[in-house]
Amino acid sequence: MTRVIVNMPATATRGEVIEIRTLAGHEMETGFRRTQTGELVPRNIITRFTCSYNGVEVFRADLHPAVAANPLLSFSTVATESGTLEFRWTGDRDFNVSHSAAITVV
């Protein structure tokens, strides 16, 4: 099971810009490296990250092999209403991990 960490405030005032930091445990194998016998190590990376706020997509990113291992993404969103934020990482070899976090907006 892949470990993911999401760091964001649990409560916010309406209209506040909150910062969300996410980290996913993944080697992000580039597909450009070779083994000692000269064979290419096949690519195995996370290709897409999405963040939905109460079902509406607010942030999306396409990742390429040039993103470091254990990809960190830090972005922001406006706290509009109480609810849940859903984070999803998808990638090579049917990689699919999601995480959700609740937010209370006062």
Partner 1 sequence: MTTTRRQFVLLALGALATGAEAQLAPNLAALRKAALEDAVRKVTGGAPLRAGRVKLNLPPLIENGNSVPLTVAVESPMTDTDHVRAIHVFTEKNPQPNVIAAWLGPRAGRAQLSTRARIADTGAVIAVAQMSDGSFWSDRVEVVVTLSACLEDGLI
Part in contact with partner 1 (CB under 8 A); list of ranges 1-9, 17-25, 81-89, 95-103: 17-25
Part in contact with partner 1 (CB under 8 A); list of ranges 2-10, 64-72, 85-93, 94-102: 64-72
**Shortest CB 93 distance to partner 1, Å:** 19
Residue 85 exposed, middle or buried by CB count within 10 Å (0-12, 13-18, 19+):
buried
What is d(CA 106, CA 90) in angstroms, rounded to the nearest whole number?
Answer: 32
Q: Does the footprint of partner 1 cover residue 3 (CB under 8 A)?
A: no
Number of residues engaging partner 1 in binding (CB under 8 A): 30
The answer to whether the CB of 50 falls within 8 A of the CB of 32 is no
The answer to whether the CB of 83 falls within 8 A of the CB of 74 is no
x/- track of binding to partner 1 for residues 23-42 (CB under 8 A): -------x-xxx--------
Phi, psi of 12 (to 5 degrees): -155, 160
List interacting residues with partner 1 (CB under 8 A).
Answer: 17-18, 21, 30, 32-34, 53, 56, 58-69, 71-78, 80
